[in-house]
Amino acid sequence: MNCKDIEAALPEYLENSLDPASREEIRKHLESCEKCRIEAEKWAELLQVMDAGELEQPSPAVRENFQSLLQSELNLQATAGILKEGPTKKNNVILSLASPVWKAAAAIVLLLGGVWIGTWVKSPKEAAAPEQISALRKEVKEMKEMVLFSLLDDESASQRLKAVSYAEEIPNPDHKVIDALVSTLNNDKNVNVRLAALYSLARFIDNAAVRDSLITSLKKQTEPLIQVVLINMLAEKKETRAIAPIREILSRDKTMKEVKEAAQKSLKTL
């Protein structure tokens, strides 16, 4: 097992739900790998917080809202078309629960829901301190980032699509996440994954660094669909620095007619 496999299996390891052979392999790995040992300590702290909390009975309204939150997560993955590898059941919208990555992702979703329910159900005097909530949110964000970076390196295009969907669930992503999305846009071998990364980056097009990356990316793109989407995005923002790469695309003999039409139309607005 490599570090990625170890990190994905940490929740089960800490809950003593793995077979003896796997537990022993992880134990030996943690003795020699400081990075994974730190991740294990973070998971242990999270599980301790969860175990220490008193069981609360949420109101019907809170329960309904949490179910909606959980269903939204499932719907996001279903509409991204990334559930082909799971078992078939009513339009193939159920992930394989045997997948270590799904278990890690599910733990994140449930933790989010647990914290959210707790803050709504408890009275103001019993509510968690702001610094505790902030720390938990930070932990959740870090866990999502861990899953994201792990999936972006996966050989399966569906898993990389899943990674991009996680990026959209991270509030205020830092430069590491943005850089990973830009790299995916420019280098992924699957056009659907690249397009998904582009739409994810579009949320931050007002960010100067992101817009610089999109302009640079336009010079590299050869896929017609991505070219058109990028051209339209930059034209909508009146980004005059896109004029040069758009003209370059127009000058290429291999550029499709539809792309040239979109480019010419955009130039008139810039």
**pLDDT tens, residue by residue, 96-123:** 434 444 444 544 444 444 444 444 444 4
Neighbours of 63 (CB within 10 A): 12
Do residues 26 and 6 lie in contact, with contact meaning Cβ atoms separated by under 8 Å? yes
Higher pLDDT, 149 or 117: 149
**Mean pLDDT, residues 10-15:** 83
Look at residue 93 in the predicted model and tell me its pLDDT: 36
Query: What six digits make up the tokens of 84?
Result: 């082909």
- For 213-263, write each residue's pLDDT tens digit: 999 999 999 889 899 999 999 999 999 999 999 999 999 988 988 889 989
pTM given for the model: 0.51
- Predicted confidence at residue 110, as pLDDT, reads 46
User: Closest Cα to residue 231, out of 244, 246, 248, 220?
Assistant: 246
Contacts of 109 (CB under 8 A, 6+ apart): 69, 70, 73
Name the phi and psi angles at 37, rounded to 5. -65, -40
In this prediction, residues 38-65 reach a mean pLDDT of 67
